[in-house]
Every structure is written in structure tokens, then in C-alpha cells.
Amino acid sequence: MKDVLMLLGFSMGLVTGALLYKYSTCTKEVVDKGEKAVMKELDKIEKKSKKKEKAS
């Protein structure tokens, strides 16, 4: 029963987040800014790893 309730709660959160993203402009802006920040950090990490790879 506990597993079913945890799954139900996760599903409700997922649906709520998707609806917020779709219909709320503020939420969409925040999520998009966060995504851009994460992608920028990933690019930095990728460049560092390529430099280390070339140095080896």
C-alpha cells in the first residue's frame, strides 16, 4: 500500500509540474533559466575534460 501511495504522489507531482510549466509563464521562465544554467555548466565541464584529454 505504501508503494502505491508513493507512486501516486510522484505521479501527481509530475502532472502538476507539467501543467504549471504549460500554463504559468513565470514557472516556465524559471525552468528555462535553470535549464540554460545547467547547460552552461555542462559545457564548461566538457571543455575541461577535453583539455585534460589533449594533455594526456
Task: Assess whether pLDDT exceeds 80 at residue 56.
Answer: no
* Nearest-5° Cα angle at 30, 25 to 34: 145
Give residue 50's pLDDT.
Answer: 87
Q: What is the pTM of this model?
A: 0.61
Task: Assess whether pLDDT exceeds 80 at residue 2.
Answer: yes
Q: What is the pLDDT of residues 27-55, one digit of tens each?
A: 899 999 999 999 999 999 999 998 888 87
The mean pLDDT value for 4-15 works out to: 96
Bigger pLDDT: 26 vs 54? 26
